[in-house]
Amino acid sequence: MPAIFPRWTNKIPLAIGVVAPLVGAFLIFAVWYWWSPLYTDMGYRPKQPVEYSHALHAGDMGIDCRYCHNTVEVSPHAAVPPTQTCMNCHSQVQTESPRLALVRSSYETGESIPWVRVHLLPDYAFFDHRPHVAAGVGCATCHGRVDNMVVVEQAEPMSMGWCLDCHRNPEPNLRPLDQVTNMNWDGSPEQAAYDATKDLERKRMPSPPVHCSGCHR
Amino acid sequence: MASKERDPLDPVRGRKLLVEGGPSFHDLTEQVCTPVEQPGLAWWLAFLPALGGLSIFGVSLFWLLWRGVGIWGLNNPVDWGWAIVDFVFWVGIGHAGTLISAILFLFRQQWRTAVNRSAEAMTIFAVICALTFPTFHTGRPWVIYWALPLPNQMQMWPNFRSPLLWDVFAVSTYFTVSLLFWYVGLIPDLATMRDRATTKIRRFAYGLFSLGWRGSTRHWQHYEKAYLLLAGLATPLVLSVHTIVSFDFAVSQLPGWHTTIFPPYFVAGAIFSGFAMVLTLLIPIRKWYGLEHIITIKHLENMAKIILLTGSMVGYAYAMEFFIAWYSGNPYESFAFVNRAFGPYAWAYWIMISCNVITPQLVWFKKIRRSPVALFVLSIFVNIGMWFERFVITVTSLSRDFLPSSWDYYSATIWDVGMLVGSFGLFFTLFCLFIRYLPMIALAEIKAVMPAANPHPPGDDH
């Protein structure tokens, strides 16, 4: 009886034995790396309608985060400021700058500037800024050194695992309640000396939820 | 001397002959392989209704995915409903295959060779049917892999303290080992099919799956060893899988579920229902395919005896549950059982009792256990009874738990029925494809238990 399969097919099991682990390892790597928000979301840097520089305003001029994002302590959402907030200064300074034309026209017409949202959590994740700010988690802890960003980008993966890392062990990310908006806190000698458990300003240590319905309500 | 009732004896072993009519090895090969090579009209008559059932399954699943599990009759206290009933029903059916293939093999019960191939196929198809129910009951089957402990950026793990997760491991292990066992047993027969194949496609397909089997002594040596090892691996699974399925109930604290009798009671019930399904399948098949001399009356009788044994164990468990409910003095437990027998689901309870407790006792009569028709009818009743057992356990306890204010009556919708009927469609479709493309009798094994396989036949002086 003639052979059904040619001789080289004898090598198939060996080839499978060699190739299959490699393919498996590659698939694991592919999902682990390319599927992760670390790859898909981190570094997202959309072009904004107005070339607003946080590096200039928050960094060089040292405007406090809360001057513009004023609802962060009292609302789940840290507000993107209305054009009126810009005009508090820009009715006096740089009034003729062509780069601010959209701001001025927005002020005149009442039409909002179409800012592009950078940090967007899924709808099924419930997030509230208030308890985070109240616990003394710094702005820079999640948003990065915005004071150095000419164009704002997402500095952290904002994946569920990333949230849980802090929820399971919040202490390293806590700072005195009056240092929340301090962009220079991390790596400072004050941070090295700070112990949240001995901070008399704190009434209690935060106990962030790690169960499903803590964030998925 | 030998009356007409007596089975013919094997001249070598002095025991009942396993293959009657004294066919030669070649006759046997012809009888088993011909239906695969030249399917008759009977196959289509079975396959087309099965396909119809499968399409019901498809429609039910489509509508389920489109609308969500709300199309089922689930309500607030009864959030498990038919999905878990059908799951346990199908997993239970699978147990006969593993028992026949593993435990009877280790105990050298040679009659298993006539039925093991189809019983193992039945196991695999039943587990496939079973797995669809929890998969779709999750509501989001596209993320069913979340049930596996895979590292992920969400740092989300299944709950290792939940018996539902143990179930994932138990049933998937069971499926894997059953499939391997079945496949390893198939290899020599696939080689037979390959060598008989007349078309190129058949030769290629059977050739591929027979893995280059040439029947050399070395092949047989490896084969026997692998088969023995797999039998050893599969044996604990016969007991463990339904034990863990019973934990789904027993580990909760609901009256009627939270009982230590559940694991053995579930295992006995599973084997009971599994053998009933083997009879349901094999009695018509042996008739249609003329295999009555291979799957003999003696085989049916043996299986009927196992049904009698396990059915009596199940009956004992029913009685013991009631006894403990009274003896424990626990009012909730007592209520749960009185409610089962006399509450709103009493109709289901008494269907279960009459099918599962009374029916198997008929097997005491030799006339009944040697009559294929009687056994077929009986096996249908057992199938019905065992489905109702899972229904009674699931629904009566859930619908009336500790808080009367949350009590509610559960009834299934047309889509629950569609899923159950459809799962039978899936099961029979797979089974029809099996008898269409694979030898349904383990040829290599059965030849080894025929008198002709003995190197020292009677009259031989060596």
Distances (CA, A) of B32 to B25, B269, B284, B289, B293: 11, 32, 16, 9, 12
A95 to chain B nearest CA, in Å?
47
Average pLDDT over residues B6-26: 75
Q: Is the pLDDT confidence value at B272 over 80?
A: yes
Which tokens belong to B12?
Answer: 């070598």
pLDDT in tens, A19-32: 999 999 999 999 88
Q: Kindly state whether B191 is in contact with chain A, defined as any CB-CB distance less than 8 angstroms.
A: no
CA dihedral B266→B120→B235→B450, nearest 10 degrees, is: 130
- The CA-CA-CA angle for residues B231, B246, B379, to 5°, reads 70
pLDDT in tens, A83-132: 999 999 999 999 889 999 999 999 999 999 999 999 999 999 999 999 99
How close A160 comes to chain B (CA, Å)?
Answer: 4
Residue-wise pLDDT for A54-88, tens only, equals 999 999 999 999 999 999 999 999 999 999 999 99
Residue B250 and residue B259 in contact, taking contact as beta carbons nearer than 8 Å = yes
Query: By the CB < 8 Å criterion, does A159 face chain B?
Result: yes
Chain A: closest CA distance from residue B204 (Å): 7
Annotated ligand binding at A166? The verdict is no
Read off the pLDDT of each residue in B351-365 and give the average, rounded to a whole number.
Answer: 93
pLDDT at B267 over 80: yes
Distance from the Cα of A38 to chain B's closest Cα (Å) equals 9
User: What is the phi-psi region of residue B459: left when phi exceeds 0, alpha when psi lies from -120 to 50, beta otherwise?
Assistant: left
CB contact under 8 A, B153 and A36: yes
Determine phi and psi for B393, rounding to 5 degrees: -60, -50
DSSP codes, A61-128:
S---HHHHSTTTTTSSS-PPPPHHHHHHHHTTSSTT-GGGHHHHHHHHH-PPP-PPP-----TTS---
Residues of chain B neighbouring A159 (CB-CB closer than 8 A)? 153-154
pLDDT of residue B1: 39
Q: Is residue B87 very low, low, confident or very high in pLDDT (cuts 50, 70, 90)? A: very high
Using CA atoms in the order B342, B348, B354, B357, what is the torsion angle rounded to 10 degrees? -90
Strand, coil or helix: A137: strand
What mean pLDDT is predicted for residues B188-209?
A: 91
A216 is in an annotated binding site: yes
Rounded CA gap, B440 and B448, in Å?
A: 16
- Give tens-digit pLDDT for B417-455: 999 999 999 999 999 999 999 999 988 888 888 877 777
For residues B362 and B212, what is the distance between their CA atoms, to the nearest angstrom?
48
Model pLDDT, residue B2:
41
Q: How far apart are CA B163 and CA B242, in angstroms?
A: 12
Gap between the Cα atoms of B67 and B88, Å rounded: 25
Q: Using CA coordinates, name the residue in chain B closest to A39.
A: B153
Q: What is the pLDDT of residue B5?
A: 58
The model's pTM is 0.88
The confidence score (pLDDT) of residue B457 equals 64
What are B366's two structure tokens? 């030799």
CA distance B244 to B310: 19
How confident is the model over B142-179, as pLDDT tens digits?
A: 999 888 898 888 888 899 999 999 999 999 999 999 99
Nearest CA in chain B to A168: B155
Query: How far apart are alpha carbons A44 and A57 in whole angstroms?
Result: 21
| Inter-chain contacts counted by CB atoms under 8 A, chains A and B | 28
* Subunit contact B154:A160, Cβ cutoff 8 A: yes
Do A159 and B204 make contact, defined as CB atoms within 8 angstroms?
A: no
**C-alpha distance from B269 to closest chain A C-alpha (Å):** 37
Two structure tokens written together for A21: 């682990």
Tens-digit pLDDT profile for residues A169-206: 999 999 999 999 999 998 888 888 888 888 888 888 88
**Tens digit of each residue's pLDDT (9 = 90 or more) over A135-179:** 999 999 999 999 999 999 999 999 999 999 999 999 999 999 999
At residue B3, the pLDDT reads 45
The residue-averaged pLDDT of B310-319 equals 94
Q: Say which range, B83-87, B134-138, B218-222, B445-449, has the weakest mean pLDDT.
A: B445-449
In which residue are the tokens 């494809």 written?
B433
CB-based burial, A63-80: b 16+ in 10 Å, e otherwise = bebbebbeebeeeeebee
Chain A CB contacts of B198 under 8 Å are none
Q: Could you state, in order of their start, the residue ranges of all structural domains in chain A?
A: 11-39, 53-59+70-80+119-215
DSSP A50: S
- Cβ contact (<8 Å) for A4 and B203? yes
- By Cβ distance, the residue of B153, B194, B195 closest to A160 is B153
**B216 near A CB under 8 A:** no
Stated as kind and residue range, the H or E segment containing B274 is helix B262-288
Check whether B349 has a pLDDT greater than 70.
yes
Mean per-residue pLDDT, B128-140: 92
End-to-end CA distance of chain A: 69
Q: What tokens does B26 get?
A: 């070649």
Tell whether A4 lies on the interface with B, counting CB pairs under 8 A.
Answer: yes
The string of DSSP letters for B360-415 reads: HHGGGSHHHHT-HHHHHHHHHHHHHHHHHHHHIIIIIHHHT-S-GGG-------HH
Q: How confident is the model at residue A4 (pLDDT cuts 50, 70, 90)?
A: confident
A163 a known binding residue? no
What CA–CA distance (Å, rounded) separates B409 from B398? 10
Question: What is d(CA B97, CA B120) in angstroms, rounded to the nearest whole number?
Answer: 4
